[in-house]
Amino acid sequence: MPNPLPIRFLQSASRLDQLPNSVLELAIVGRSNVGKSSLINALAHRKKLAKTSKTPGATQLINVYELDPEGSGSWLVDLPGYGFAKAPKSEMDRWKQMIEEYLMKSDTLGAVILLIDSAVGPTSLDLQTVEWLDHIDLPYRFVATKEDKVRPSKRGARKDDLVKKLGIEKKDVLWVSANTGTGIGELRSEIIEFFST
């Protein structure tokens, strides 16, 4: 397995203009409780780099992690999750606006890792996000989280159902588990390659 991803927390922001200049960015997008923070911790092999919570909506700001060496300008960006967060509508609208502004206006954003909860499958919000990313012509990579939450006897059917709903092929989805480490090494390699090209 490739070495842990050499990332460090850089800063949080509520608006794009609060962030310094970067060279290249890769954003992590997904619904609330899809496991974004757990995935970041698994990629870095650190337990508390990203704040995790059993309550959806723990990530409420744009959280930036920079690949070492310090000052490289290569950023992994964790965005607030969409849907399910138990927050006032005004707050959720603010998150939505923050996410959309970042995805549409960041000049150095190269691609998105789009997380789908494999235990739940693609939701209507996930499908809307796919349509929107297509509309703004932003490349994305499907990563199915929580693979360990699907019983082994049901994984084949669940994978078939997931790719069918997304309208893609099996090879277009990387299945991962932050708990067991499944797929984490491959995703680390893909991220390193993204920033190396």
pLDDT digits (tens, 9 = 90+) for 31-78: 988 999 999 999 999 998 987 755 555 567 899 999 998 889 999 999
Question: How much of the chain exceeds pLDDT 90, in percent?
Answer: 77
**27 strand-pairing partners:** 77, 112
Q: Are strands 62-67 and 24-29 parallel, antiparallel or unpaired?
A: unpaired
Provide the mean pLDDT of the chain.
91
Residue 97's pLDDT is what?
86
- The full set of domains in the chain, from first to last, is 7-196 (3.40.50.300)
- CA-to-CA distance for 38 and 35, rounded, in angstroms? 5
pLDDT band at 88 (very low <50, low <70, confident <90, very high): confident
pLDDT at 17 over 60: yes
Contact 123, 31 (CB under 8 A): yes
- CA-to-CA distance for 142 and 111, rounded, in angstroms? 11
- CA-to-CA distance for 77 and 94, rounded, in angstroms? 18
Between residues 170 and 85, the one the model is more confident about? 170
CB contact set of 196 (below 8 Å; sequence gap of 6+): none
Residue 103's pLDDT is what?
94
Asked whether the whole model's pTM tops 0.85, one would answer yes
60 burial level (CB within 10 Å; 0-12, 13-18, 19+): middle
Give the strand order in the sheet containing 140-145.
7-13, 62-67, 74-78, 24-29, 109-117, 140-145, 173-175
- CA-to-CA distance for 26 and 191, rounded, in angstroms? 8
Contact 56, 33 (CB under 8 A): yes
Q: Is the preceding omega at residue 6 within 30 degrees of 0, hence cis?
A: no
pLDDT at 166 over 80: yes
Residue 85's pLDDT is what?
58
- CA-to-CA distance for 173 and 111, rounded, in angstroms? 15
